[in-house]
Amino acid sequence: MGEAMTPATPGGEEKKSSRTTLWIVLGVVLVCCVCGGGAAAAWYLWNNGDQLLQGVGSLISLAAYV
């Protein structure tokens, strides 16, 4: 009986839930960005891989002469 009752903070649980939702949304956005970047890199290499390998090969042969 001698204990003082502390008032409940309004929105305490809602604030935690909101942070959890924010982290989930940020995680989903990050995964989508990484997957999109990987897909763009794969598409670029699929279309330009031969030119890229030719350029690397010429750089290696140029370095062999030096």
Using one digit for the tens of pLDDT, what is the confidence trace for 6-17?
Answer: 665 555 555 678
Q: Tokens representing 37?
A: 């970047």
Q: Tens digit of pLDDT for each residue in 8-63?
A: 555 555 567 889 999 999 999 999 999 999 999 999 989 988 887 788 888 888 88
Distances (CA, A) of 11 to 14, 17, 24, 62, 65: 5, 10, 20, 67, 71
Q: What CA–CA distance (Å, rounded) separates 33 from 30?
A: 5
Alpha helices in 1-66 (DSSP H): 12-65
